[in-house]
Structure formats: structure tokens, C-alpha cells
Structure 1
Amino acid sequence: MKKIIPLLIIMAIIFVAPADAKGNVEPVMPCSLVLDPVNNSEINEKGVALIYKVKLTPSFPRTSISVHAIHLPKPSNYGEYDNYEGFSFIENKISWRFKLYPTAEEDGPTWAGRIDDITANLENSRIEVCLSNSKSGKLGPVVLSNSINLCH
């Protein structure tokens, strides 16, 4: 009997574990994620993403991602850019872009925005803040980023 109990525990871990063989786990929602600067010299640039299920229509719930980014320089400091955008993607599958809007604050704006209509499973996705050019529609370099697998 004493030998069966450890065997049952091991089998339970293998068959009931929340992750698949690759370690992929969809985050438990709601969750938040700190967005760190990709350029380590920019110590003041930070952001946060809030990810949760939202039911805005009679259809099934969607996933909402909202981003709040602070202490970012003017987009034009990086070149031909005039805005920041939120960008989330699952590599080689799908991506979402959403505009971030600046607030009027004394020491520079807080950039914030959201997208509310994501239907995909977000495991292994990334959330980023990128520069953008509103005239050309082109997305520029990533400024802040993190993996949704670190969401908690």
C-alpha cells in the first residue's frame, strides 16, 4: 500500500498538471504584466498590461488587453515616429495592434490604450509598446515588452 501512494501522486502530477509537455500555460485571468524597456539604459521607462475576460456583447467573452506606459520620450526622439501603439502577438500565428493615447501631464504624458476583442488563447504571446508612424501606418521598434507567460 505504501508503494502505491507515491505512484498515484506521480501519475496525478503527470496527467493533471496544468502545463503541457512544452510548459505552455494560458495565464489565469485577470492578471497583470510589467512591461520592461528593451534598451536597458532606459531605466525610467516602464509599463503595465492588464489582461482579463470581458463580456461587452451577448456573444461569448473576449480577452481585453490594456496598456499603461510612463516616462517614454517623445516618439520623434527615435526618428520618424509620432505615436506609440500597443502590440500583442503569438509568433507565426496572429497579432493585434491598438493605439496608445497620451494624457496631458506636466512632466510628459502617460500613454494608455486597450483592445477588447481578442478571441485567441494567449499562451506564449508577447505584449509590447512600439513606436509608430500614423501617416505611413508603419510600426517601429519595440520600446517595452514582456511575455504573457509571466503574467500574474
Structure 2
Amino acid sequence: MKQIIVSLFILVAVFIAPITGKADIPMPCSSVLEPINSGFPNAKGAALVYKVKLTPSFPRTHISIHVTHLPSPSSFGDYDGFEGFAYIQNEISWRFKLYPTPEEDGPTWAGRIDIITADLTNSHIQVRLSNSKTGKLGPAVLTSSIHSCK
């Protein structure tokens, strides 16, 4: 009888625990955004992710991005800026404008979004090129997975 109970316990632990034991992303956390193209070794960014309670309703997830040493957006083609882009593959995405600061040797780009209600467990965060006149979103320049968030 004891062997049956022990065997049942082991089966429950093996098959049910992984379903209910889904790992949450620790918040607040930050993730380094790395360049996709190795031709830009100095281009780096950071994403800060945490919960905010800005209204009486439930908390939302905040993502802010800070990026330095990017080439001019126009050097990639018909683009005039960068946007933050967070997505969960085949589910949902969010995009938000990154604003340049006037600095010597190129601007620092930064922006944020505070309205995310989805679980970000399988999400990715990117910096993408954008054209503000056409609304066209271009390819990613920097990227990170939420799993690298610490």
C-alpha cells in the first residue's frame, strides 16, 4: 500500500507540478538589449520592467527602454526614429515611440509604455526602426527576451 501511495505522489509531482509551477518573471527586473547586427558593437540598451498602479483598477506592467550609440535611423533607409516593441509571439504586441535627447556624439533614445495587462512570461523586447510619417515599423536593431530579465 505504501508503494502505491509513493508512486502516486511521484506521478503527481512529475506530471502536475510543471503545469501549476509556471515560473513568473521577477519584478522589478531589467534586461540588456543586444544588437542584432554585429556591425554596431557599441549599440546597447536596457529595458526596465515592473508593475505600476496608476489608476484605481489593477496594476499594469511598465516597460521603459534606454538606448545609446545607435546609428542614425536614416542610415538604415527611409526611417526617422526608433520605437520600443514588445511582443508575445502569435498573441499580442505593443509599440511605443523612443525620443532622442540632444547630446554630443549622437542621442540617447528613451521611451516607455504603462498599459500592458498581459502576462509577459514568453515575451520579447526590441528596439525597431520607424517612420513617423508613414507609421511603418522597420526591422529590429536591438533585442532581448524577458527570460534574461533580472
Q: Normalising to structure 1: TM-score of the pair?
A: 0.86
Alignment RMSD, CA only?
A: 2.5
Structure 1 match to 2:3: none
Q: Distance in 2 between matches of 1:42 and 1:128?
A: 15
Q: Distance in 1 between matches of 2:15 and 2:30?
A: 28
Structure 2 match to 1:143: 141
Q: Distance in 1 between matches of 2:130 and 2:113?
A: 17
**1:149 Cα deviation from its structure 2 partner:** 1.1
Unaligned runs of 5+ in 1: 1-6
Q: Deviations over 1:128-150 (max 9, x none)?
A: 00000011101001000011011
Q: Distance in 2 between matches of 1:16 and 1:105?
A: 54
2:115 to 114, 117, 141: 117
Q: What letter is aligned with 2:36? A: V
Aligned residues: 146
Structure 2 match to 1:103: 101
**1:20 Cα deviation from its structure 2 partner:** 4.3
Q: What letter is aligned with 1:74? A: S
Instruction: Give identity over the alignment, percent.
Output: 63
Q: Normalising to structure 2: TM-score of the pair?
A: 0.87
Unaligned runs of 5+ in 2: 1-6
Contact 2:40 2:70 in 1 (8 A): no
